[in-house]
Structure 1
Amino acid sequence: MLAVLAVCASPLIISYLTYYVIKPEGRTNYGDLIDPRAYPIPDLGTTSLDRKPASLNDFKGKWVMMQISDASCVDACRKRLHDMRQLRLAQGKEMERIERVWLVTDDKPLETMLMREYDGTHMLRVKPEALTKWLPVDNGTTPADHIYMIDPLGNLMMRFPKDADPNKIKKDLAKLLKASRIG
């Protein structure tokens, strides 16, 4: 009889222990959440590669994955571009809700093969000074070390760590798209 009582009461006792003694961690996201009210998209003076005015605000209504790099796009940059493409594809039927943007921080020409390989990524030129005023960074990192997320309302809302794990980003994206009715 005591064994049956112990088996029946054990879930209740364990739940109280885990809630009051072993506090659960409240964070389930991989990326760093950013207060979106503090980082709306400013006028960055962005242009398309052919020097026509363009803006990140053109993508309002969609989730935007954004990365920053100069035109040389070394290995880390190429990896982020590849990850962004694959992460968008991994969302299946929800992939149309996501746009990919590469902010190029210099005036050098881009490699034609690189542009073809990442066709569908919007490539905009921007002055690096405008980005440093807008994007939050930690000590030891630069804006070019991260992939950023902009919500459909046009606010910066998440930053993924340097050398981020694509599988963890995929889970965050799936949660965002599932929870959001906009975009």
Structure 2
Amino acid sequence: CAAVLAYFFWTPAAYVNYGDLIAPRALPDVRLEGIDGRPFRLHDLNKRWVLVNMSSGRCDEQCVRRHFYMRQVRLMQGRNTERVERLWLITDDVQPDPKLLEAYAGMHVARARRDVVAAFPSPTDPGDHIYLIDPLGHVMLRFPMDPDPKGMNRDLSRLLRASRIG
């Protein structure tokens, strides 16, 4: 944990992280509904780093691009790929396109309640960003609205290298 704090707070000349570091905020341990109707808990993903996208089940072009970036950034981690999960929190009752779910197989999908969405700090709409949850279940990093996958990869790679958890 000290390595993670040192990485983000000690900057000799300039900022080194791409994403916005946010004060770690614990997510509520609530029971959500998975897209398949089965119960889903955010804490089921503890012990893993989790990239999170929130949007409508309609998933517009920007949403699809964020899913693509999340998948690619996870794959870029090489031998650490298994330490990273992807989560799509759907913020409405719209059923997502089955082709989209098939294209991004392996991504966890659940419907988000308002209290869960509110736990993700954002200057605008939380659905405008990709977030990173640490293995202890804290939201800690927010990537820009239209993220650069190389910057995301650099941040995540450094965290995985510095962290002994997850």
The answer to whether the superposition gives a TM-score over 0.5 is: yes
- Please show how residues 23-62 of structure 1 align to structure 2 within 5 Å: 25-36=13-24, 39-62=25-48
Contact 1:44 1:126 in 2 (8 A): no
Contact in 2 for aligned 1:71/1:104 (Cα 8 Å): yes
User: How many correspondences in the alignment?
Assistant: 156
Instruction: Tell me which protein shows more strand as a share of its residues.
Output: 2
SS state at 1:79 partner: helix
Q: What is the distance in 1 between the residues matched to 2:98 and 2:118?
A: 31
Secondary structure, aligned partner of 1:119: coil
Cα offsets for 1:72-112 (capped at 9, x unmatched) = 00000000000000001111111000000000111221111
Q: Which has the higher contact order (CA 8 A, sep 6+)?
A: 2
Give the one of 86, 102, 121 matched to 1:116: 102
How large is the RMSD of aligned CA atoms in angstroms? Answer: 1.5
- Structure 1 residue 133: Cα displacement: 2.6
Query: Are 1:151 and 2:134 counterparts?
Result: yes
Question: 1-side partners of 2:66 and 2:29: how far apart?
Answer: 25
Name the CA distance, whole Å, in 2 between partners of 1:134 and 1:44: 12
- For structure 1, the residue ranges without an aligned partner over 5 or more in a row are 1-22
- The structure whose residues are more often helix, as a share, is 1
The percentage of counterpart residues that share the same residue type is: 44
Q: Is 1:136 the equivalent of 2:121?
A: yes
Q: How does 1:171-182 map to 2 (within 5 A)?
A: 171-182=154-165
Return the TM-score normalized by structure 2: 0.89
1:160 aligns with 2:148: no
Distance 1:106 1:43 in 2: 20
Point out 4+ residue stretches in structure 1 off by more than 4 angstroms.
none
SS in 1 for 2:26: coil
- CA displacement at 1:134 relative to structure 2: 1.2
- Residues 28, 116 of structure 2: 8 Å contact kept: no
SS at match of 2:79: helix
TM-score after normalising by structure 1: 0.81
